């Protein structure tokens, strides 16, 4: 059952502007696709800033489904945010790797056992949702219940859910249109 999305409008009206101002870089950047862009969004800049990270985490707390047992921080960008949200809520966190370790415990998810537990994924930025999709499938394979991902920024096209194919609800703190609107102010 999908939880209701809480309305957080007005929670931190300057957050989009402050993150955009910190993270949007101009210059010449080669993207993962090989394309060259004149702008680049460096999400690690807000995650490395304790004040911005705290503001994002506080906004995420408002979006968590009430029945969340565990937070699932995705490697790499979701881990600092999930840790901060865990600290604010007292909910334990499981750290989800991009692929299982090939040594030691050989785990994909580090921390408490997720089997039979409701895991809300925590991610920094979602555009196509590839990493979230992979983590969702992997956690479900070990018996976790994964229905919601809370992200700092949803950069997917307006009105589209890039994770609908895996039945995942996306709850963003900010959207691409909110970030872009800061540029026209």
Give tens-digit pLDDT for 74-122. 999 999 999 999 999 999 999 999 887 788 777 888 999 999 999 999 9
Say if CB 144 and CB 114 are below 8 A apart.
yes
| Predicted structure pTM score | 0.88
Q: Average pLDDT for residues 130-151, to the nearest whole number?
A: 95
| Model pLDDT, residue 133 | 94
Q: Comparing 140 with 158, which gets the higher pLDDT?
A: 140
Closest CA to 89 of 107, 67, 106: 67
Confidence tier at 5 by pLDDT (50, 70, 90): very low
Does residue 128 contact residue 153 with C-beta atoms inside 8 Å?
A: no
What's the CA gap between 20 and 164, in Å, rounded? 27
Sort 85 into a burial class: Cβ within 10 Å, 0-12 / 13-18 / 19+: buried
Is the confidence at residue 1, as pLDDT, over 60? no
Phi-psi region of 134 (alpha: psi -120 to 50; beta: other; left: phi over 0): alpha
Could you tell me the pLDDT band of residue 7, with boundaries at 50, 70 and 90? Answer: very low
Mean pLDDT (whole number) for 154-169? 92
Confidence band, pLDDT 50/70/90 cuts, at residue 127: confident
Of the pLDDT bands very low, low, confident and very high (cuts 50, 70, 90), residue 180 is confident
Q: At what angle do helices 78-89 and 50-61 cross, to 10 degrees?
A: 60
- pLDDT band, very low/low/confident/very high, at 157 (cuts 50, 70, 90): confident
Give me the pLDDT at residue 11, please: 60
Beta strands in 31-181 (DSSP E): 36-41, 70-74, 93-96, 109-110, 118-126, 145-154, 169-175
Does the pLDDT at position 155 exceed 80? yes
């Amino acid at each position: 059952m999908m939880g209701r999305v809480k309305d957080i409008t007005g929670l931190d009206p300057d957050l989009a502007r402050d993150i955009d101002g910190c993270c949007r870089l101009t210059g010449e950047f080669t993207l993962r696709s090989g394309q060259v862009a004149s702008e680049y969004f460096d999400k690690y800049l807000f995650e490395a800033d304790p004040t911005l990270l705290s503001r994002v985490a506080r906004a995420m707390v408002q979006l968590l489904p009430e029945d969340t047992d565990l937070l699932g921080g995705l490697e790499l960008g979701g881990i600092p945010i999930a840790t901060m949200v865990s600290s604010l809520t007292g909910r334990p966190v499981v750290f989800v790797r991009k692929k299982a370790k090939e040594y030691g415990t050989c785990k994909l998810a580090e921390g408490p056992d997720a089997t039979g537990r409701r895991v809300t994924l925590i991610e920094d930025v979602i555009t196509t949702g590839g990493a979230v999709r992979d983590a969702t499938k992997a956690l479900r394979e070990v018996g976790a219940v994964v229905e919601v991902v809370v992200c700092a920024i949803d950069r997917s096209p307006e009105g589209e859910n890039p994770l609908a194919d895996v039945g995942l609800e996306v709850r963003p703190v900010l959207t691409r249109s909110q970030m872009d609107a800061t540029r026209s102010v």
